[in-house]
């Protein structure tokens, strides 16, 4: 055999082969590490826009690119995507920080930015660009938590109004806030053209909690009142047999349930109805806390409903005599008239019971709820009734685009659970007695009456003393309250207030009121 033409095979270099394989393995690991880092950055950046804590320092684009280059040269495609992500993050960063300063992550830089405006500038801007339909106390608020609120200069106040009892659970309650954020990520509004997975769950909870068969969702308290009136009239014609368009609804003097045309048509307060006529027909008024007058009115066969607040809030926290609500229930049953209880302000633990009517263990035919139903996070209201009333309204006859929306339902469900699980009605009952005991020590030549139930109370002062002036002095001392009807000051703190806090507030009120003693 001629061996000259044979190719001599070199002996394989095993070490070289292993080294090359190890380099290829390391290169694959570097590529995987770059991919993991990229995904982690994208994930973390977008998490900060969803309500989680914002990182103290958000890396700039070139800093992030440098981190990649420490591992290896990143591809142009990845660099382009990374630059795009970082640009989005920079655009939303300031908005995220500003929004999260109130609940969850608290950002001091956002607070300083928010406080760059003065209270006076806030007042002037609202006066210039806003309608002049309110007369606010001169305080410009920018933050609240629990029982406290802060103005733009950073001064802290006790809140003794609770947004007219809309924040019974305390400002920015973390449980309700968490539910709001979680639901807002997935579904906020469907309209009632479609079903949602949230409405039925809330309807089941609220009907079982209050002992009714049906719930009709709305948004604001006055919409709840309008809904109750429509239900009553529909029931009058389809069930009671009142001739068409002759049904009457009776209201109590001093009532307040909103500022729509229907609401002011039932009002006896000239500041509400003056200059807005003509008014809704079919409304009548009887004296509040007067069962004899009510009986005489309900005897009219054309009367279909009597709507009343168990305690009149806007009228000055007017508490009826014991037995009044029980008498209302008996008279409405006797004359086949629907009893509509407006519990928008008095309900949901405010007066020391789940509902104010629970103090006399009576049940209305129609129950209106609102305000604290969402814990101050979102407008939610509605009406509870049994099938005999609720099912008189058919599809297309009543509704609301936002009523029953998924976001509102989730928020309201958690708000009710907070009231129940944190036993806020019991806290209101206990601390209400303590507050009234302290207030009854105020000088009698200034304060003529203390009244209320739970943590819905009022100080009635002598008419020659300006209640707004008293509230301004309390503001200076760190407590926010507002007059109602001139010489009456309503006191309604969030129900999460503690005993030591209620006593501190009573001391503030006492110091201010004592200045007017002669």
Q: What is the pLDDT of residues 116-141, one digit of tens each?
A: 899 999 999 999 999 999 999 999 99
> Which CATH code is given to the segment(s) 424-515?
3.90.1150.10
Could you tell me the pLDDT band of residue 68, with boundaries at 50, 70 and 90?
Answer: very low
Average of pLDDT values for 78-102?
46
Instruction: State both tokens at 173.
Output: 């309650």
Domain residue ranges in the chain: 174-422, 424-515
pTM: 0.80
Average of pLDDT values for 367-371?
99
What's the chain's average pLDDT? 88
**Catalytic residue chosen out of the listed positions 148, 256, 306, 377:** 256
Q: What is the pLDDT of residue 420?
A: 99
Q: Is the Cα dihedral 94, 95, 96, 97 positive or negative?
A: positive
d(CA 16, CA 10): 13
Q: What is the pLDDT of residue 29?
A: 77
Q: What is the pLDDT of residue 485?
A: 82
Whether the per-residue pLDDT at 101 is higher than 80: the answer is no
Fold of 174-422: 3.40.640
Q: What is the pLDDT of residue 225?
A: 99
**Kind of pairing, strands 338-342 and 366-369?**
parallel
Q: What is the pLDDT of residue 113?
A: 54
CB of 398 closer than 8 Å to CB of 218: no
**Catalytic residue chosen out of the listed positions 34, 45, 234, 371:** 371
Could you tell me the pLDDT band of residue 260, with boundaries at 50, 70 and 90?
Answer: very high
Most confident of the following: 1-10, 24-33, 141-150: 141-150
Whether the per-residue pLDDT at 92 is higher than 80: the answer is no
CB of 222 closer than 8 Å to CB of 342: no
Could you tell me the pLDDT band of residue 21, with boundaries at 50, 70 and 90?
Answer: confident
**Catalytic residue chosen out of the listed positions 143, 159, 306, 342:** 342
| Residue 490, number of CB atoms within 10 A of its CB | 26
Does the annotation mark 256 as catalytic? Answer: yes
Query: Between 35 and 291, where is the model more confident?
Result: 291
d(CA 492, CA 415): 18
Q: What is the pLDDT of residue 108?
A: 54
Query: Residue 460: beta bridge partners?
Result: 449, 488
Does the annotation mark 276 as catalytic? Answer: no
Per residue in 452-461, pLDDT (tens digit) is 999 999 999 9
- Identify the CA nearest to 249 among candidates 309, 331, 328, 306: 306
Calculated CA dihedral for residues 266, 270, 274, 276, nearest 10 degrees: -20
Q: What is the pLDDT of residue 84?
A: 55
Lowest-pLDDT choice from 56-60, 128-132, 496-500, 508-512: 56-60
Does the annotation mark 283 as catalytic? Answer: no
Q: What is the pLDDT of residue 77?
A: 52
Whether the per-residue pLDDT at 172 is higher than 60: the answer is yes
Kindly state the helix (H) or strand (E) to which residue 272 belongs, with its residue range: helix 270-273
């Amino acid at each position: 055999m001629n061996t000259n033409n044979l190719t001599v095979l070199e002996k394989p270099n095993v070490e070289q082969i292993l080294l090359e394989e190890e380099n290829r393995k390391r290169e694959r690991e570097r590529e995987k590490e770059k991919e993991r880092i990229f995904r982690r950055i994208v994930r973390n950046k977008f998490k900060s826009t969803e309500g989680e804590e914002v990182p103290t320092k958000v890396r700039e684009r070139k800093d992030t690119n440098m981190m990649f280059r420490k591992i290896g040269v990143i591809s142009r495609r990845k660099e382009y995507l990374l630059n795009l992500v970082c640009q989005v993050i920079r655009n939303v960063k300031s908005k995220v920080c500003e929004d999260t300063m109130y609940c969850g992550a608290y950002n001091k830089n956002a607070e300083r930015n928010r406080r760059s405006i003065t209270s006076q500038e806030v007042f002037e801007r609202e006066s210039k660009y806003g309608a002049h339909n309110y007369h606010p106390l001169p305080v410009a608020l920018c933050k609240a938590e629990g029982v406290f609120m802060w103005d733009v200069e950073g001064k802290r106040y006790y809140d003794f109004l609770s947004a007219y009892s809309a924040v019974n659970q305390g400002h920015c309650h973390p449980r309700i806030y968490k539910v709001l954020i979680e639901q807002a990520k997935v579904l906020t509004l469907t309209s009632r053209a479609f079903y949602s997975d949230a409405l039925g769950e809330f309807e089941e909870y609220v009907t079982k909690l209050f002992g009714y068969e049906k719930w009709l969702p709305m948004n604001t308290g006055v919409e709840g009142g309008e809904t109750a009136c429509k239900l009553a009239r529909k029931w009058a014609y389809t069930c009671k047999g009142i001739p068409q368009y002759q049904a009457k609804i009776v209201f109590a003097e001093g009532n307040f349930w909103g500022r729509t045309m229907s609401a002011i048509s039932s009002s006896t307060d000239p500041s509400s109805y003056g200059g807005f006529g003509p008014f809704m027909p079919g409304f009548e008024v009887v004296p509040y806390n007067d069962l004899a007058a009510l009986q005489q009115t309900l005897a009219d066969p054309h009367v279909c409903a009597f709507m009343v607040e168990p305690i009149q809030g806007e009228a000055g926290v007017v508490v009826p005599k014991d037995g009044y609500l029980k008498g209302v229930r008996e008279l409405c049953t006797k004359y086949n008239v629907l009893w509509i209880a407006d519990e928008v302000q008095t309900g949901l633990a405010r007066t020391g019971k789940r509902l104010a009517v629970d103090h006399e263990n009576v049940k209305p035919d129609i129950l209106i709820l609102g305000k604290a139903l969402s814990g101050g996070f979102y407008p939610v209201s509605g009406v509870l009734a049994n099938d005999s009333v609720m099912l008189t309204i058919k599809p297309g006859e009543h509704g609301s685009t936002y009523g029953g929306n998924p976001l509102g339902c989730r928020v309201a469900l958690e708000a009710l659970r907070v009231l129940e699980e944190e036993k806020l009605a019991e806290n209101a009952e206990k601390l209400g007695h303590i507050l009234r005991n302290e207030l009854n020590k105020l000088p009698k030549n200034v304060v003529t009456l203390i009244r209320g139930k739970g943590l819905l109370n009022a100080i009635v002062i002598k008419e020659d003393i300006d209640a707004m002036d008293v509230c301004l002095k309390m503001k200076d001392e760190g407590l926010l309250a507002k007059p109602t009807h001139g010489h009456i000051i309503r006191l309604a703190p969030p129900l999460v207030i503690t005993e030591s806090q209620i006593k501190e507030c009573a001391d503030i009120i006492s110091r201010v009121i004592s200045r007017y003693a002669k």
